[in-house]
Structure 1
Amino acid sequence: MANLSPSNFFHFIIVFMDLCFLAYSVTHWEDTQALKQFRNGVVNTSVNPGSCLSTWDFTVDPCDSLSTEKFTCGIRCDVVISGISRITELTLDRAGYSGSLDSSSWNLPYLQTLDLTNNFFTGSIPGSFSRLTRLQRLSLSINSLNESIPDSLPDSLEELLLDNNKLQGPVPKTLNRLKTLKRLELQGNQLSGEFPELSQLSSLYFLDVSNNAISGYLPATFPVNLIELAMRNNSLQGNIPANLINNSVYLQVLDLSYNNLTDSLPPELFTHPSLQQITLAYNRFRWIQTPVDWGRNSELIAVDLSNNDIRGSLPGFMGWMPNLSALSLENNKFSGVIPTQYALKAVMQNGLGGVGPFERLLLGGNYLFGLIPGPFLQLKSGSGVMIRLGDNCLYECPASFYFCGGGVQKSLMECKTFTPVIP
């Protein structure tokens, strides 16, 4: 110490005092008060002995007691001012707590993560959440929240997970204000009305609003950086706007199954530069438009168009799509013969001319007729290729071939009624 100058000695004392403060951090009084309000709002009978909330003992400082038996879990604190800690994370998922979230003022201004997943919280999503101006992740999944989504939420959100509740009313247009939002999950609620255009969410890459009661037409445009879009099991009608496909250039997964969509399937679906999976089963589509390049540059791996009202011949171009390995066209109204290319794609294990093989080809429940393509006859049960041709008009398809099983062929009368050209 004798070698320290007065100024250095003074600096040493300041650093030493800072370290002392950091060794015993004090939770900001507003954060402690907010935790108390939240705890008081939870139904006492849902706080089981040994659970996270049962350890919260406010006779000691929360942030300084995180690793003790007084506060075993649930919160994380960061020191933001010398000696003062602010709560940045509150996580109480899969705890089974119940009560109303409205009972708390939610005055936690430094909170970045709020995860109350898999509990039994009821009522509304508090409007006071809008005060959490640093909040990046809000997860209220798997609860019993049963009112509408509030118009005002923190602009700082990157993930908003409200799935598997009982939320009602429309999806608010004000979600467009959440410019930094990357993930939006609203599936498994009772949301209704038309789905709003959320084209302002330029950072959004994942959107799931499946299993709701959303009606009306699909918006003309969606966020440009979407990678996955799921809207299955709603009441959507009309067609698929070409702009949805053309503008979402990074889209990889599209699931619009179990709706009331109709008209034709646009050719852009099969020429998209990144689309890998299409699920459009259980709609009312009637036609497939053939792309100009016959899908030879397609990235599609799996296509499910089953249980629609699609007519005409099987789309031959799908036999030339290089990466397509799973194709389901079951339970439509296709007629005519099975393209030879389908059979070649099924039996060529290493592909043919840059075209990869089928691993699953489901064509049952249509009005296909004619001879079975010769290459199919090379396939044996257990070959690793799943093929279903039952419930068609293929009278030269005996059950001894495994791909002819799984359902007898339609009656001759039904087949001739649908397409008189059947011999």
Structure 2
Amino acid sequence: MSDLNFHLYLFFFLLQFALFSTSHVQALTSPSDISALKAFKASIKPSSIPSWSCLASWDFTTDPCTLPHRLHFTCGITCSPDSTRVTQITLDPAGYSGTLTPQISQLTHLSTLDLSENSFFGSIPSSISSLSSLQILTLRSNSFSGSLTPSITKLKSLESLDISHNSLSGFLPNSMASLSTLRRLDLSFNKITGSLPKLPPKLLELALKSNSLSGPLSNSSFDGLTQLEVVELSQNSFSGTLQSWFFLIPSLQQIDLANNSLTAVDITRPTSGGGGGELVAVDLSFNRIEGYAPANFAAFPRLSSLSVRYNRLRGKIPVEYGKNKSLKRLYLDGNFLNGQPPPALLTGSSGISGSLGDNCLQGCPSSAKLCLPSQKSNAICKQVYGGGRGRPRS
């Protein structure tokens, strides 16, 4: 064979090899990951997979992690830089209906699992504890039921857990505190019962509103939570006294405990350099809190919103409320407060919005927006205070 013929042969051989290689891409994704993805899709009702959705493009005739994704696996998964492992599953809100397969545990490099705003049902498999790299677990707005599996507390890398708007029931695991890296916990709008266990130490946000949690709030549950900023526990059945330690959690900014069964508030003035200095908003409305309106709320230097509406408070509105320059929203309506409101609250220069209505106040003119709605009748106020100690007849 001449040199010219040899070089032509070599050229065509290499050309055919290149064409063959581009049309038959070698599979890269780990077989265990492919098996898990197949099981994941098989656990979802085919009738709930629209033709335009991410899951509809999961066609296993093509390797899931091969790039570019032109026709298959166009969305829903992300792979590692070397295209061998699946690192994220983030589904579109397409109305997928099915269960979460226990074989999800094979995706051991998964860092994000987001199935939010679909129609997944059944329990969360305990095998999820094998996802040691999982940082974000979002199952919000589905129909998951059963108790929150204790195995979920073995996810040592988890930073965000959102299973709100589902049908979870039963108690919270006693081992919640072992989620040592968790920053955000949202289990709102479920059917969770019992009391709060000891909480994860690095929490920034705690949201458990609209459940059936009960009992007093214990210091042991919040002990060591120096970074906690937001607490949303409204629409539960927490009871007893809300003690001063709660308001003095060092970084706490927002408290929402509305619509519970709290009966008292014991609050201490924040100290310089101590806890309570960051508190911005407090909502304790629609509880059963008795006694006097706590004057020490006015001592929190950044407090801008305070609501204690529709409780059982009595006595005078603390004059300190009118002296707090940061306070911009004040809701005390629906109690049995009497006497005259601090003049500073009624001046136009105060800039305070809210309501002092539906109390037993004197000198709170209906022309002032802050005094609406109108005060309780004399008959009701006399029943509360006895004799003539309520709001006198005009």
TM range (shorter): 0.7 to 0.9
Task: Confirm or deny that 1:392 pairs with 2:370.
Answer: no
What's the TM-score once normalised by structure 2's chain length?
0.83
2:156 corresponds to which of 179, 187, 193: 179
1:216 maps to which of 194, 199, 210: 194
What SS is found at the alignment partner of 2:344? helix
Residue of structure 1 in register with 2:289 after alignment: 310
The answer for the alignment partner of 2:125 in structure 1 is 150
Other structure's SS at 2:360 match = coil
Q: Deviations over 1:165-203 (max 9, x none)?
A: 111111111122111111111111111111112111110
* Aligned twin of 1:66: 68
Aligned partner letter, 2:359: N
Is the Cα–Cα contact under 8 Å of residues 39 and 103 in structure 2 kept in the other structure? no
1:248 corresponds, among 213, 222, 225, to 225
Correspondent of 1:268 among 207, 227, 245: 245
Question: SS of the residue aligned with 1:418?
Answer: helix
**CA distance in structure 2 between the partners assigned to 1:312 and 1:23 by the alignment:** 79
Separation of aligned partners in 1, 2:142 and 2:88: 19
Q: CA deviation at 1:151?
A: 1.2
Partner of 1:363: 332
Work out whether residues 66 and 75 of structure 1, in 8 Å CA contact, stay in contact via their aligned partners in 2.
Answer: no
Q: Unaligned 5+ residue runs, structure 1?
A: 1-16, 87-109, 346-350, 352-356
* 1:300 alignment partner, SS class: coil
* Cα pair distance change 1:71/1:339, threshold 3 Å: closer
Q: Following the alignment from structure 2 to structure 1, what is the Cα–Cα distance between the partners of residues 72 and 195? A: 53
- Mapped contact 1:246–1:268 kept (Cα < 8 A): no
For residue 202 of structure 1, what is the aligned residue in structure 2? 180
**Cα gap change, 1:329/1:22 in structure 2, threshold over 3 Å: closer, same or farther?**
farther
AA aligned opposite 1:251: L
Quick one: which amino acid aligns to residue 285 of structure 1?
L
How far off is 1:147 after superposition? 0.9
SS in 2 for 1:263: strand
SS at match of 1:27: coil
Secondary structure, in 3 states, of the residue corresponding to 2:214?
strand
Are residues 78 and 392 of structure 1, via their aligned partners in 2, closer, same or farther at CA, if it must alter by over 3 Å?
closer
Q: Matches of residues 31-70 of structure 1 in structure 2 within 5 Å?
A: 46=48, 48=50, 50-52=52-54, 63-64=65-66, 66-69=68-71
Distance 1:178 1:64, change over 3 A: closer
The two structures, once aligned, show a CA RMSD in angstroms of 2.9
Q: 1:96-151 CA deviation, whole Å, 9 max, x = no partner?
A: xxxxxxxxxxxxxx211111242333332111011111111111212222211111
Measured in 2, the distance between the counterparts of 1:42 and 1:375 equals 62
| 1:400-411 correspondence runs (5 A) | 400-405=367-372, 407-411=373-377
For 1:75 and 1:207, locate their aligned partners in 2 and report how far apart those are by CA, in whole Å.
24
> 8 Å contact 1:227–1:252 — kept in the other structure?
yes
* 2:116 counterpart SS class: coil
Match 1:328 to one of 296, 307, 310: 307
1:71 deviation in Å?
5.6
Q: Percent identity?
A: 38
Aligned AA for 1:142?
Answer: E
CA distance in 1, matches of 2:171, 2:40: 35
1:408 to 1:170, Cα distance in 2 relative to 1, 3 A: same
- 1:28 paired with 2:28, answer yes
Q: Deviations over 1:383-414 (max 9, x none)?
A: 75313111001132121111112x11111111
The Cα offsets for residues 254-282 of structure 1, whole Å up to 9 and x where unpaired, read as 11110111100011122111000000000
Aligned residues of 2:49 and 2:95 also touching (Cα < 8 A): no
**1:74/1:294 Cα in 2 relative to 1: closer, same or farther (>3 Å)?**
closer
**Change over 3 Å in CA distance of 1:400–1:141 after alignment to 2:** same
- Give the C-alpha shift of residue 25 in structure 1: 5.6
How many residues were matched structurally?
364
How far, CA to CA, are the matches of 2:62 and 2:210 in structure 1? Answer: 50
- 2:91 is the alignment partner of 1:125: no
Retained in 2: the 8 A contact 1:285–1:309?
yes
Q: What secondary structure does 1:224 align onto? A: coil
Please give the TM-score of this superposition, normalised by the length of structure 1. 0.78
